[in-house]
Chains A and B, each alone.
Chain A
Amino acid sequence: MLKVEKLESGYGSMQVLWGPDLEVKAGSITSLLGPNGAGKSTLLWTILGTVTPTNGKVYFEGQDVTDLPAHKKVNLGLTMVPEGKNLFKEMTVFDNLSMGAYRKEAQEVKQENLELVYSMFPILAERKDQLAGSLSGGQQQMVTIGRALMTKPKFIMMDEPSQGLAPKLIMEIFQTIVKMKEEIGLTILLVEQNAAASLGAADYVYVMHEGSIKAEGTPDEIKGSDEIKEAYLGM
């Protein structure tokens, strides 16, 4: 579904990505692990197109989308749950979700998707008229995921969705992610620091360090390699 080839990018004169290769198979949860500052978030923003690639290619469903602006990628069914959430804090939960359904194709199925989001996160239905900024961290994360689902995506990149949440909530978020794959049929690229939990949910794993991919394999292969775990995952 998504293929990244030798992608390079950075901020100003500082290069962050040094040509990682990566493939996400349709219908899979592919996990991207790596320490702080490895360039995971930068990779996601570069795939989306808000950070401009200086070299390399991004293919989405076989189409070269390297230079496509972000909104056009969203129109193709690719979206993101960003690390900083990037919610519209002064808008209500409902308006945040409505903004998710901004693109034409998503408008048409807005009601269905809204029901889907409310059934996954019933608390959001209760709080739909509250300002997003007034919610707890966990609820804000639900809005962010809900907003992404509202775009009628095929593929979602999730950047540390469990960050800063209580252990019980982390469990729930991971269950939700697995549900999104199994029940809705979404393909997911999951960036995580929480290696243990994402090794449990993922079908395939990439390990990133200093802007390039240092290891890859099935979760069992990664778990089986003490070398990888020690060098990059601190396990």
Chain B
Amino acid sequence: MANEKASELPEGGMIIEAGSSRKYLTGDWRSKRPECDELKCTNCLICWIYCPDNSIIVKDGKRVAFRLTHCKGCGICANQCPAKAITMKDEVG
């Protein structure tokens, strides 16, 4: 729960700081986590294009990991992957 008082907040729900979504950890929402089978992945980067939360980490033109702080587990990457390399696994605990 947030603890700022009404008198301390910018009026009208305005967000007065740019790029604040970085601090908003949408990874908290996730009930399923994407996992990638490295052997199947062709590094086509279609998942990177489709991910709505910028959670496919790419290095030197290669898909390397999921940004789990912001991946909300929507499964779009798993759905779109032409190599069927991504599966959605239940989060435990």
A binds B: no
Residues of A within 8 A of B (CB): none
Chain B residues with CB under 8 Å of chain A are none
